[in-house]
Structure 1
């Protein structure tokens, strides 16, 4: 397991095991000393830096899509496949702004008398790829397949 995938709790457990092993070998070690040694063993300057890196990694949500990737789903009730042109996390939230380019234009009007085709759309989605905005019948505007 690389340092980038370790949680704060896992790193503290490493420090506790190190402290126990060092004490058993006759070399007492303080808890803070063990934390510093764990940080150095992972190539990090000190424990505070290590804790900041681990916390930042722990709090990163999984992305609902990848820029340049191919996605499929429903937009205003119509099936689509397309490419992700951009994905931006909205500041300090769990939502993203996504821009898609559909392989084939999607008719977003349900009336038989006329059509309105869209091939490029921008929407807000959550971490699961679902738009919080809904149509009048309660369906999300955009739903990405997982």
Structure 2
């Protein structure tokens, strides 16, 4: 469910069930042509569908964080900002935050505040399962491991 699909009344009523925020990271630098930017956004949209569709009713997709620093040394600043966004989203009431990106430099190591970081580079297909099945397994494991930690 997208954040913009919720009314104030729905949010109040459904808040206990909508415990997971999906935070997309586009990773644009500003150097992309309009065509390249559209391609990146389309790729991320397709990737987001792998969580939004099977977990509709529990996951709320927030607006994408579009721009990140170009140079490797400047990425630390971007990671700090995203980490702060994750902390604030949790403070607003979400128990879990999943970051999704199609960028190779985005990882759980860089964004430790997130409960799960999913990228095409982090999902390894095993036992003949599809990427969608592997992502569903990762999300379910995140929820289940949290329940057993308490």
Pairwise TM-score range, normalised by the shorter structure: under 0.3
Higher strand proportion? 1
Q: TM-score, normalised by structure 1?
A: 0.24
Higher helix proportion? 2
Q: Which has the larger radius of gyration?
A: 1
Q: TM-score, normalised by structure 2?
A: 0.24
- Structure with higher RCO (Cα < 8 A, 6+ apart): 2
